[in-house]
Amino acid sequence: MYTNKFTRTVAFALCSAFALPAAAAPKLIGDGDLKAAKTSYMFFYADPKKVKLTTATIEAQLQERLIAAGLNTTPCLIPADLNANNLVCGNAVRFGTDFFSFNSITNIPKPTLPFTGADKQSGLDRISLEFGVNGRSPALGQPNEAPRVVQIRFNKRIAQFGMVFDPFIVTNSPDLQEGRVSDGIQFIVNGQATPVRDFTQETRGNIPFVGVEDSHGFTELTIISTGGGSIIGDQFTIVPLANF
């Protein structure tokens, strides 16, 4: 009797499990798909020899200048302007050992911030906007040694992540297809991969925002770059699951 009851219980559990819908796969998103509760981070480096302010003051005043410039972004101060890794933004986003600060030019335009006379006195106007790349940079100022994978972790469960990608290095060639360092981007979230966001139809100067969404939430993700394998990025954006 006990055996029959146990068998029925197991059978019911198995039937219930098979009846559950499969977990929805993560999907690619663009800038227009982001929820209003997003937070976007941009890398900045403040040379302590040039900027005579505390970290808290730099962050507060820089945030004010970004808002005045019409940018809904949060400054993320990083420890060095070149080849720094293990970067952390807002105690929310943690980049791993395979993502580095990059201080050279990219095709991503740098915003013009409305610095004041007082900013010139304090050195705030000497702060520099940096980018992130998945390879150490040589003296020539272009990323190399680029692995194909970048891992990012989050301190809270999030539903959306995205960033601006620059698929090309900077070159003076009139051929707008020359200089491509990535053919596309793919995300892996909760063990599932998104389709590849193709970059082969992009031309140099186009800087697409590409992201991933998973309504179940996630605390880490992997970015895979196809083709040349490089990742050059900016405006790292998250939406917490609690605000999704």
187-221: pLDDT as tens digits: 999 999 999 999 999 999 999 999 999 999 999 99
pLDDT in tens, 43-53: 999 999 999 99
Burial (Cβ within 10 Å: 0-12, 13-18, ≥19) of residue 147: middle
- Please count the structural domains in the chain: 1
Does residue 201 lie in a domain region? yes
**Quick check: is 46 in a domain?**
yes
What domain range includes position 70? 23-110+117-243
Q: Specify if 13 maps to a domain.
A: no
Q: What is the pLDDT of residue 228?
A: 84
In a domain, 44, yes or no: yes
**Spatial distance between the Cα atoms of 194 and 166, rounded to a whole number of angstroms:** 19
Report pLDDT for 22.
53
Residue 40 belongs to a domain: yes
Q: Please give the Cα distance from 237 to 90 (Å, whole number).
A: 11
pTM of the model: 0.86
Tokens for 33, please give them.
């798909």
Q: Alpha-carbon distance 89 to 93, whole Å?
A: 5
Distant-in-sequence, close-in-space partners of 136: CB < 8 Å, separation ≥ 6: 83, 100, 143, 144, 145
Nearest to 165 by CA among 138, 137, 143, 191: 143
Per-residue pLDDT of the chain (244 residues; tens, 9 = 90+): 444 543 444 344 334 334 434 567 899 999 999 999 999 999 999 999 999 999 999 999 999 999 999 999 999 999 999 999 999 999 999 999 999 999 888 999 999 999 999 999 999 999 999 999 998 887 445 455 555 789 999 999 999 999 999 999 999 999 999 999 999 999 999 999 999 999 999 999 999 999 999 999 999 999 999 988 899 999 999 999 999 9
